[in-house]
Every structure is written in structure tokens, then in C-alpha cells.
Homo-oligomer: A and B are copies of this chain.
Amino acid sequence: MIGGGSGAFIGAVHRIAARIDDKYELVCGAFSSDAEKSKASGVVLGLDASRVYASYQELIEKEKQLPESERVQVISIVTPNHVHFAPTKLALENGFHVVLDKPMTFSLAEAKELQKVVESSGKLFCLTHTYTGYPMVKEARQFVASGKLGKVRKVYVEYPQGWLSEFTEATGNKQASWRTDPKQSGIAGAMGDIGTHVFNLLEYVSGLQVTKICADINIVVDGRKLDDDGAVLLKLSGNASGVLTATQIAAGEENNVKIRVYGEKGGLEWQQSDANTLQIKWLDKPAEIWRTGAGYLSSYAQHNTRTPPGHPEGYLEAFANLYRNFAECVEADLEGKQPKPESLDYPGIEEGVRGMAFIENVIASGKSEQKWLDFTV
């Protein structure tokens, strides 16, 4: 693991997610750009001191020198955005598979370059857009793809948070500080941190692509350097349209990611606050409540569930699904086999490039006087 030392939120989440299905063992780390802190974190995590490194460069170099049977196979990179590209590139080029936190890079240019690296390296790459790991999100995608709703016409996605309602970055809150700092986050705040999640969710579930955007991007809290609120009108492929909202100043909101898709014959709705339920709505018959763990679900939902219906699975299990599916692909790769389609269903480099394109397009649109901008990659 690169990054994720003591005090980091998402690093701990990655480690739990990796452990849940017993497909990974944490064997080495460069947990901080501060060598002392990295060592200290390694001790807490019970690692062999010899495999706690002072930098990601050292990690990659030293691990590569280890015999193949001992060497780390998959490197998780959970640093702030500005330290995504370089370690990922180095890891891939040195033969390691990579799991990387989102958004993928600091800029779209980096993203496109990384895409080339992934392709030339032949290594596997996973980007942790957690929400697509939920079984009922996978069911939603399958349901839309089945055509039962007819042609998709309208998609709404939203990600309301309230935790940045105050000038939190001035209080020493580490999570707030780097996310609102253009040097660490890039050109976008809320749009990069959570907008990319719902952008990805929209394209994943609907099977459509954003083609044009018109964005209202705001900095609501005085003194903040990056956007903390935005709403975006979307034109989608297939003549559909959509609305994406993402905000960090909806005081009192937690993380209630939500998607609604409407086709000619019906619609569907999923939200994180009731993550094990997928509502299917129909023009002329009762709405249906589809539930995690049920026997009538697709193989994709079933593959990503561990417990019977009614025993809720949550965010950590959704995260674990990404790790587990990625592991199954790594295993297949080692064995020279083709993974199952269900295993291949995790976000990768393509989603990462489009996510970075979203950031650049949405910020450009926010600044533009022109109504519609083509979504360009």
C-alpha cells in the first residue's frame, strides 16, 4: 500500500475492503511521504519492518528485487490526487497490478498518459469507484441493459454532503484540507471528490455516455479555494438527458448517493441510505422492491453478496467487491485463464479517463458563458 498512514480515512477503508474476502494479505507499505510516519504506521499494522518503505519509489524498487513468490502482487495507492499518477505509472511499469483511489489523476492529460501505460504494461488496474460495487447497483445496470425499461430517457444522479458547510479546512481537519487545496486536489473540489462518483454511477448504470454538459459550479463557503457545490445539466447518448448534482454544503446531509433512471416503460431508483433495495417502477403495474441476496437477482448481484436477504451489507462490502473481483482477475491472469464476466465488472482505466474528462469539462462549463459544451476526452 502506498499512502494510508495513521489518520488517513480511506487507507483504512481499503485495508478492510481487501481483507473481507481473504484474497489479499498486506505485506508491505510506504504509508507516508514522511519516512518516520511510514515506519510508525507499519508498526501499527504489524508489518515486517523490512517491508515498510520511506517512499513509493523505494517500495517499488525493493519489492521488485524480491523473489516472485515473496514480492507484492497488487499495490494499492491511496494518496491524495496529486500523488496518483507517478506511483501508479511506476508500479505498472515495474510489473505490479494496481488498485488506485479516485479521482484517477491530477489532470486529464495525466489520465490519458496513464491509459497508455496501463495498455502497454499489460498489468491490471482498478479504480475504486465504490458505489458501483453495491450489489443492487450492479442489478440496476443489468436491469437497464436487459431492455425491460425500454430506451432510457432521463437520468438523475445526486450526491449531497454537508460536511463542508463550514470553513472546515481552517480548523486543521486533514480530510477537508487536502480536498480543498488545488495543489493536492487539482482544479476541482466537490466535482472531483464526489461529482466523479455520481458521473461514474450514471454512466455505469444507464449504459449511456455524457455528450454535452452545462454546469453551475459554485464556491459557497467564504475563503474556500475550490468548488463545494455544483449542478449539471447533461445530454446523454441515445438522445437522453440527465441532471447531476453534487454538493458539500447541504448542511445535515451525510452521503446519500442516489440514482434514478427512467425509460419508456418504467424507471428504477437506488440510494445508498437504503443500499440493499432497488426500486423498479412501472407505468401500469405496482412498483417492485428488489433486495440484496434474493434468489431472483442476476448473477452479477448474487456474485457480489455474502449474506442472506435482510442482513444488510454496506459500504465496506461494496468496497470489498471491487477488491474481490479484481483479485479474481489477478488470479485468472496468473493462471492464464479468462475471468468470469462478473469478475471483470470493476471500474478501470476507461472509467478513470472519463472521470478526469468530467472534471475538466465540468469546470470549463462552470466558467463558460456558453450554454452547452461538448463533453470532450
Q: How far is the CB of A201 from chain B (nearest CB, A)?
A: 15
Proximity string of chain A (235-263) to chain B, C-beta cutoff 8 Å, 1 when within and 0 when not: 10000010101010111111110001011
- A273, CB-defined interface residue at 8 Å: yes
**How many Å lie between the Cα of A254 and that of B245 in the bound state?**
22
In the A-B complex, the 10 residue pairs with the closest CB atoms: A252-B281, A254-B310, A255-B310, A312-B314, A311-B315, A286-B288, A314-B314, A287-B289, A254-B309, A252-B267
> Do B241 and A154 touch across chains, with their CB atoms under 8 A apart?
no
Q: How far is the CB of A11 from chain B (nearest CB, A)?
A: 12
**How many Å lie between the Cα of A156 and that of B16 in the bound state?**
35
> Do B309 and A315 touch across chains, with their CB atoms under 8 A apart?
no
With A251-B281, A255-B308 known as contacts, the answer to whether A229 contacts B154 (CB < 8 A) is: yes
Determine which of B21, B241, B267, B312 lies in contact with A272 in the assembled complex, contact meaning CB atoms within 8 Å: B312
Which residue of the partner chain B has the closest CB to A45?
Answer: B22
- A280, CB-defined interface residue at 8 Å: yes
Q: Across the interface, which residues of B come within 8 angstroms of A149, CB to CB?
A: 251
> Do B283 and A290 touch across chains, with their CB atoms under 8 A apart?
no
Please name 5 pairs of A and B residues whose Cβ atoms are closer than 8 Å in the assembled complex, sorted by A.
A156-B245, A166-B264, A216-B235, A233-B233, A251-B265
Proximity string of chain A (143-173) to chain B, C-beta cutoff 8 Å, 1 when within and 0 when not: 0000001100110100011110110000000
Which residue of the partner chain B has the closest CB to A220?
Answer: B153
Determine which of B250, B264, B287, B316 lies in contact with A317 in the assembled complex, contact meaning CB atoms within 8 Å: B316
Which residue of the partner chain B has the closest CB to A269?
Answer: B252
> Do A310 and B262 touch across chains, with their CB atoms under 8 A apart?
no
Which residue of the partner chain B has the closest CB to A290?
Answer: B286
Q: Across the interface, which residues of B come within 8 angstroms of A280, CB to CB?
A: 252, 286
Binds B, one of A85-93, A291-299, A345-353: A291-299
- A275, CB-defined interface residue at 8 Å: yes
Q: Across the interface, which residues of B come within 8 angstroms of A372, CB to CB?
A: 369
- A183, CB-defined interface residue at 8 Å: no
> Do A284 and B291 touch across chains, with their CB atoms under 8 A apart?
no
- A204, CB-defined interface residue at 8 Å: no
With A154-B229, A313-B316 known as contacts, the answer to whether A266 contacts B283 (CB < 8 A) is: no
Q: Across the interface, which residues of B come within 8 angstroms of A340, CB to CB?
A: none
Q: How far is the CB of A221 from chain B (nearest CB, A)?
A: 9
**How many Å lie between the Cα of A178 and that of B115 in the bound state?**
53
Q: Across the interface, which residues of B come within 8 angstroms of A9, CB to CB?
A: 308
With A254-B291, A272-B310, A286-B280 known as contacts, the answer to whether A249 contacts B22 (CB < 8 A) is: no
- A94, CB-defined interface residue at 8 Å: no
Determine which of B165, B253, B311 lies in contact with A314 in the assembled complex, contact meaning CB atoms within 8 Å: B311
- A69, CB-defined interface residue at 8 Å: no
Contacts of A193-217 to chain B: CB distance below 8 A: 214, 216
Which residue of the partner chain B has the closest CB to A175?
Answer: B308
Q: Across the interface, which residues of B come within 8 angstroms of A165, CB to CB?
A: 262, 264-265, 283
**How many Å lie between the Cα of A6 and that of B99 in the bound state?**
30
Q: Across the interface, which residues of B come within 8 angstroms of A184, CB to CB?
A: none
- A300, CB-defined interface residue at 8 Å: no
- A20, CB-defined interface residue at 8 Å: yes
Q: Across the interface, which residues of B come within 8 angstroms of A285, CB to CB?
A: 296
> Do A266 and B251 touch across chains, with their CB atoms under 8 A apart?
yes
Q: How far is the CB of A69 from chain B (nearest CB, A)?
A: 15
